[in-house]
Structure 1
Amino acid sequence: MTKQYLDFARHVLEQGAVKDDRTGTGTKSVFGYQMRFDLQEGFPILTTKRVPFGLIKSELLWFLRGDTNIRFLLQHNNHIWDEWAFERYIKSSDYTGPDMTNFGIRAQKDEDFNRIYQEQKLQFCENILVDEEFAEKYGELGNIYGSQWRHWQGANGEVIDQIKDVIATLKTNPDSRRLVVSAWNPVDVPTMALPPCHTLFQFYVVDGKLSCQLYQRSADIFLGVPFNIASYALLTHLIANEVGLEVGEFIHTIGDAHLYLNHLEQIERQLNREPYELPQLHLKDPEKSIFEVESEDIELLHYQSHPGIKAPIAV
């Protein structure tokens, strides 16, 4: 896995066009790229830097719950969605603290501001955890992934559970070409804190093995893509276990694949590291339904990696 990812990063680093972007950070970008990972060969998690698998597990279980409020994530010490909820809060009339305009960019350039920003965000997260009313109002991110996966609103007001539907179809008609789950709902996009980057995935069964292909419209190569690969590989394992199949491939198809310009030093450092062997995924209680699985039921065996590499997130 690590080789495919490093080849991908090197390709964008060397061939990517410099472009402006929504965050104002700037990127090196290519359009259209695909990677394939044989899940029989090991679990595709990066070994050239430490990837926090606990965060991947809790985020995916959050999606599968149909949840869109960061309170569940914070209860599992997962802060990967904090900035988008915080951004909504500081734009509200209830926020009366220091000016947080463009906090993502300013925090990278101004140490004094970054200290104030971190204090404000920490207080925000504490309020989400201890104040249920505050969490209900400002922990919500709109109808993002979990809502679309489990509670898609149909044209006639019906609620469609795409995950349950695709599981049912896999059990009854595994050769179906309609094993598709979409997170991109044009009606809801304007009210989402962040429109879905991983927009659509499809399952495919052959020789008793379940494969999954993801189409991702936008991919942050250094910070996001390692999470995306591991998350959808884990989802494939969980769905395969649910329907009594082995795992096949995870195919990752990407639209706008980009390296942020403030991640170039970090990706160069990673490209100079030698990969380790891939770990193995282990489900401690394979009899548990995908809707009952807890984070502690999922573990990686023999995960060895180089140390993590920090980089700023573009909001």
Structure 2
Amino acid sequence: MHAMSPQPPHYEEQYLDLMRHIWRHGDERIDRTGVGTRSILGATLRFSLADDAVPLLTTKRVYWKVAAREMLWFLTGDTNIRELVKQNVHIWTDWPLDSYRKATGEDIDRDAFEARIIEDEAFARQWGDLGPVYGAQWVNWPRYEPAGDGLFRRAAQGHNQIAALVDAIRTNPGSRRLLFTGWNVAEVAQMALPPCHMTYQFQVSDGRLNGLLFQRSCDLGLGFAFNIFGLSMITRMLAQQCDLEPGEVVWQGGDVHLYLNHADLVEEQISRTPAGAPKLRINRRPSSIFDYGIEDFEVQDYAPQAHISAPVAV
């Protein structure tokens, strides 16, 4: 009689282990937001994308369509919250709202601010822009051309890192330069929030596309769930566009932290047992990486435990 081979651990266990480690052993410090965190430097998690697998957290509900809509918005190059707010995505509103309140002294609530952003295009132009954040760098990284007298002027069209990446995966799959980044040193100071998920790198291996994200700063309690879904989603999109199978995704965190005011979230989540194997399906192959819509994505077999709410530190 043969002993039963033990079941491999659920993919989410490594996330919960990291959460436990940071909560119990992380360095406690005051951070930019003033809330305070427990933090470590350097963490790596790996997840398979085989058979449509997607590493959605099951120990709490993740609103994956919010992450998907944000990723599609990045790929348009847009940096104004107006299109996001129209789609009921509020994750970027706090930064322009904070700027507006400080500049005007008006004690406006988020709903009223977002309503004005949607209704008034001029107001949105003035108050809804985030500066040259992710999408601007991904698809329109500034290029400069000679303007005479030794001077340079900004070219009307920047460098599209995403289009170049698709071309490179197709034509030079052995390259070690299959990457894009949002960390434009010259423009970081103009951004509402410098890129956290800053550099994505890809590798073609035996007909599969692997994706890696280096994230300089990660709010493990709230942000990570969206970031790992976004990495999985864009890896799947690139694989589909380049006639490859999705392989695995590797997530690397720089400063990985938990906010001190997330104690309830952390204690509740690490007490839960992950279960299930959700799948991410892409229902159509558009003509380019820039032509996907939210309706092209479907998550199946996702039965998470109850949502856990926690405040965002701005």
Q: Give the TM-score normalised by the residue count of structure 2.
A: 0.91
Question: Which runs of structure 2 are paired with 1:268-283 in the superposition (5 Å)?
Answer: 268-283=267-282
The answer for the alignment partner of 2:148 in structure 1 is none
Q: CA deviation at 1:91?
A: 2.8
- What letter matches 1:219 in structure 2? C
Contact residue 236 and residue 246 of structure 2 kept, 8 A? yes
- What letter matches 1:81 in structure 2? W
The answer for the alignment partner of 2:71 in structure 1 is 60
- RMSD across aligned positions (CA): 1.2
CA shift digits 1:226-276 (9 cap, x unpaired) = 110011111100111111111111111111000000012211101111112
2:79 is aligned with 1:37: no
The answer for the alignment partner of 1:215 in structure 2 is 214
Partner SS, residue 218 of structure 1: strand
The answer for the alignment partner of 2:102 in structure 1 is 91
Contact residue 88 and residue 193 of structure 1 kept, 8 A? no
CA shift digits 1:145-178 (9 cap, x unpaired) = 0000000002433410000000000110011111
Residue of 114, 121, 144 corresponding to 1:125:
114
Query: What is the rounded CA distance, in whole Å, between the counterparts of 1:155 and 1:198 in structure 2?
Result: 26
Contact residue 219 and residue 256 of structure 1 kept, 8 A? yes
Partner SS, residue 213 of structure 2: strand
CA shift digits 1:16-38 (9 cap, x unpaired) = 01011000000000001111111
Greater displacement, 294-303 / 1-10: 1-10
CA shift digits 1:96-153 (9 cap, x unpaired) = 423xxxxxxxxxxxxxxxxxxxx52211100000101111111100000000000000
Question: Which runs of structure 2 are paired with 1:34-183 in the superposition (5 Å)?
Answer: 34-40=44-50, 42-92=53-103, 95-98=104-107, 120-156=109-145, 157-158=154-155, 159-183=158-182
Contact residue 67 and residue 229 of structure 2 kept, 8 A? yes
Greater displacement, 57-66 / 155-164: 155-164
Q: CA deviation at 1:287?
A: 4.1
Query: What is the rounded CA distance, in whole Å, between the counterparts of 2:92 and 2:50 in structure 1?
Result: 31
Query: What is the rounded CA distance, in whole Å, between the counterparts of 1:140 and 1:149 in structure 2?
Result: 17
Partner SS, residue 210 of structure 1: strand
- What letter matches 2:23 in structure 1? L
Q: CA deviation at 1:5?
A: 1.0
Query: What is the rounded CA distance, in whole Å, between the counterparts of 1:291 and 1:180 in structure 2?
Result: 17
2:13 is aligned with 1:24: no
Partner SS, residue 185 of structure 1: coil
Query: What is the rounded CA distance, in whole Å, between the counterparts of 2:144 and 2:258 in structure 1?
Result: 38
- What letter matches 1:152 in structure 2? W
Kindly indicate which of the two structures has a greater share of residues assigned to helix. 1
Query: What is the rounded CA distance, in whole Å, between the counterparts of 2:304 and 2:88 in structure 1?
Result: 22
Partner SS, residue 216 of structure 2: strand
Contact residue 280 and residue 300 of structure 2 kept, 8 A? yes
The answer for the alignment partner of 2:150 in structure 1 is none
Partner SS, residue 84 of structure 2: helix
> Could you say which structure has the larger radius of gyration?
2
The answer for the alignment partner of 1:113 in structure 2 is none
The answer for the alignment partner of 1:106 in structure 2 is none
Partner SS, residue 23 of structure 1: coil
Q: Give the TM-score normalised by the residue count of structure 1.
A: 0.91
Query: What is the rounded CA distance, in whole Å, between the counterparts of 2:101 and 2:231 in structure 1?
Result: 32
Contact residue 79 and residue 129 of structure 2 kept, 8 A? yes
Q: CA deviation at 1:286?
A: 2.2
Deviating above 4 A after TM superposition, structure 1's stretches of 4 or more consecutive aligned residues are none
Q: CA deviation at 1:73?
A: 0.6
Partner SS, residue 153 of structure 1: coil
Query: What is the rounded CA distance, in whole Å, between the counterparts of 1:91 and 1:163 in structure 2?
Result: 36
Query: What is the rounded CA distance, in whole Å, between the counterparts of 2:61 and 2:268 in structure 1?
Result: 13
Contact residue 286 and residue 292 of structure 2 kept, 8 A? no
Partner SS, residue 259 of structure 1: strand
Identical positions, percent: 43
